[in-house]
C-alpha cells in the first residue's frame, strides 16, 4: 500500500500533520509542498511545533535547523552542522489535491479527465469523515444497488431498484464498470425521472472516478480516500459538470453533503474489517463491480490487518 498516492488535503493549506500507516508526517508549504517525518531526530519533539522558514524548518526544542532536503544544517549548541537527516516523502500537487506516497510510486497520480476542461465547472466536496474502513467507503462509492434505498428521492427510486447486467473490465491498473443503468428521480435538475448510465473507474486502491451521462449532460466525480486507520477514512472529492451553471456551488455541494451523510449512516454500521475472502458475505449479479474490486485488492495488496484487510 505504501507505493500508492494518498490525498493529504485539498491544495492551499500551509501546514498539516498526518499519520499514514504508522508514520507521523509533517506536510508543509513554503512556496511548494514538502513532507518530512514529524519527529526531530534529536529528542523526538514534534517538528510541526517548529518554525517554518523559506528554506528551513527550525525545531522548537533546541533550535536544530533542517533544509528542504531534510539535512540538518545547523545545531545552535555547537554552532555547527548536524549529521542527521529527516526522512523525506514523495509529495505532489495535482487535480487540486496534495498527494503523498511513502514509497517510490510506480505511476503518477491518476487523472481526473475533466479537471482541466473549461467546459466543465468543478466543485470541491468534503472532506467527509467516515468512522469506517476505507475499503468499505470505497466499495460504497462503487455500489449502485443501494441508490434506490439509501438515496431514495436523491439518486434512486425504490419503484425501480433493478440493476441490469453490466460489463466490467479488470486489468492491472484499473477496473472499469461500463454502462450501469440506474433510474434516477431528477438526474439533471429537470425534475423528471430518467434512466442514466454510469461508467465507473477504480484508478487506484482508494481512488475512484465515475461519469454519469443523461443525454448530453455529463456529471463526473473523482474521489480520493485517506486511510487514517481501519476505523477512520477521510474522503476528498471533486464534481465536474457541463450543465446547471445556474445553480450555485453551495446548492450542488449541499446535495452531495446530504448524499454522503446518508451513506455514512449505513457504512459506519458495517464491520471495520474488509473481507477479501468473498465467501464471508453474500453477493448477487449487481455486485459484480465490488466483487471484482475485492479480488483486485487481494491481488494488489493482499491481507493486511493494520488496515482491516482480512
14 binds ligand FES (CB under 6 A): no
Closest to ligand FES by CB, 40 vs 252, is 40
Binding residue (CB under 6 A) for ligand FES from 6, 34, 64, 112? 64
Is 98 within 8 Å of 7 (Cβ atoms)?
yes
CB of 142 to Fe ion, least distance (A): 10
Q: What is the dihedral of CA 183, 185, 191, 195, to 10 degrees?
A: 0
| 153: CB partners within 8 A, 6+ apart | 185
The DSSP bridge partners found for residue 175 are: 170, 202
Cα(183)–Cα(192) distance, integer angstroms:
10
Give the residue among 136, 146, 138, 142 at the shortest CA–CA distance from 273: 136
Q: Which does 272 bind (CB under 5 to 8 A by kind): ligand FES, Fe ion, none?
A: none
- Region near ligand FES per CB under 6 A, out of 3-11, 35-43, 140-148, 214-222: 35-43
Closest to ligand FES by CB, 38 vs 132, is 38
CB of 64 to ligand FES, least distance (A): 4
Q: Which does 87 bind (CB under 5 to 8 A by kind): ligand FES, Fe ion, none?
A: none
CB of 155 to Fe ion, least distance (A): 7
Q: Which does 263 bind (CB under 5 to 8 A by kind): Fe ion, ligand FES, none?
A: Fe ion
51 binds ligand FES (CB under 6 A): no
Q: What is the dihedral of CA 7, 242, 245, 146, to 10 degrees?
A: -60
Q: Which does 42 bind (CB under 5 to 8 A by kind): Fe ion, ligand FES, none?
A: ligand FES
- Across 30-171, the runs of DSSP E, i.e. the strands, are 33-37, 51-52, 56-58, 65-67, 72-74, 88-94, 97-101, 121-130, 167-170
Closest to ligand FES by CB, 69 vs 162, is 69
Cα(204)–Cα(301) distance, integer angstroms:
11
92 binds ligand FES (CB under 6 A): no
Give the ranges where the chain is alpha helix by DSSP (H): 134-142, 147-150, 249-267, 288-300
Please report how many Cα atoms fall inside a 13 Å half-sphere around the Cα of residue 252, on the Cβ side: 23
Q: Which does 300 bind (CB under 5 to 8 A by kind): ligand FES, Fe ion, none?
A: none
Positions 94 through 133 that interact with ligand FES (CB under 6 A): none
Closest to Fe ion by CB, 60 vs 270, is 270
DSSP 3-state of 261: helix
- Region near ligand FES per CB under 6 A, out of 56-64, 192-200, 202-210, 286-294: 56-64
289 binds ligand FES (CB under 6 A): no
296 binds ligand FES (CB under 6 A): no
Binding residue (CB under 6 A) for ligand FES from 3, 14, 51, 62? 62
- Region near ligand FES per CB under 6 A, out of 38-46, 143-151, 160-168, 171-179: 38-46
CB of 137 to Fe ion, least distance (A): 10
Give the residue among 37, 7, 23 at the shortest CA–CA distance from 238: 7
Give the residue among 23, 42, 273 at the shortest CA–CA distance from 139: 273
Sheet order of strands, 175-184 included? 121-130, 232-241, 217-229, 207-214, 194-204, 175-184, 167-170
- Residues forming contacts to ligand FES in the complex (CB under 6 A) are 40, 42-43, 45, 59, 61-62, 64
Amino acid at each position: 500500500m505504501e507505493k500508492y498516492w494518498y490525498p493529504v488535503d485539498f491544495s492551499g493549506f500551509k501546514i498539516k500533520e498526518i499519520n499514514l500507516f504508522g508514520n507521523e508526517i509533517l506536510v508543509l508549504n513554503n512556496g511548494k509542498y514538502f513532507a518530512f517525518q514529524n519527529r526531530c531526530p534529536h529528542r523526538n519533539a514534534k517538528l510541526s511545533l517548529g518554525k517554518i522558514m523559506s528554506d528551513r524548518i527550525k525545531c522548537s526544542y533546541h533550535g536544530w535547523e533542517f533544509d528542504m532536503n531534510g539535512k540538518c544544517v545547523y545545531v545552535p549548541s555547537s554552532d555547527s552542522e548536524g549529521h542527521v537527516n529527516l526522512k523525506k516523502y514523495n509529495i505532489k500537487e495535482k487535480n487540486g489535491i496534495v498527494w503523498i506516497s511513502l514509497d517510490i510510486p510506480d505511476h503518477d497520480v491518476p487523472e481526473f479527465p475533466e479537471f482541466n476542461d473549461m467546459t466543465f465547472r468543478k466543485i470541491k466536496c468534503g472532506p467527509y469523515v467516515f468512522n469506517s474502513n476505507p475499503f468499505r467507503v470505497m466499495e460504497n462509492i462503487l455500489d449502485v444497488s443501494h441508490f434506490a434505498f439509501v438515496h431514495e428521492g436523491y439518486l434512486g427510486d425504490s419503484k425501480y431498484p433493478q440493476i441490469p447486467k453490466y460489463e466490467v473490465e479488470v486489468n492491472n491498473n484499473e477496473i472499469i464498470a461500463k454502462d450501469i443503468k440506474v433510474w434516477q428521480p431528477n438526474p439533471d435538475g429537470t425534475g423528471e425521472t430518467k434512466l442514466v448510465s454510469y461508467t465507473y473507474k477504480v484508478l487506484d486502491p482508494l481512488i475512484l472516478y465515475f461519469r454519469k451521462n443523461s443525454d448530453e449532460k455529463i456529471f463526473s466525480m473523482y474521489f480520493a480516500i485517506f486511510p487514517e486507520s481501519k476505523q477512520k477514512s477521510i474522503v476528498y472529492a471533486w464534481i465536474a459538470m457541463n450543465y446547471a451553471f445556474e445553480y450555485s456551488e453551495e446548492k450542488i455541494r449541499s446535495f452531495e453533503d446530504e448524499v454522503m451523510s446518508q451513506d455514512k449512516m449505513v457504512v459506519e454500521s458495517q464491520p471495520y474489517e474488509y473481507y477479501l475472502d468473498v465467501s464471508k458475505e453474500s453477493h448477487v449479479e449487481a455486485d459484480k463491480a465490488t466483487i471484482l474490486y475485492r479480488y483486485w485488492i487481494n491481488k494488489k495488496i493482499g491481507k493486511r490487518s493494520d488496515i482491516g484487510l482480512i
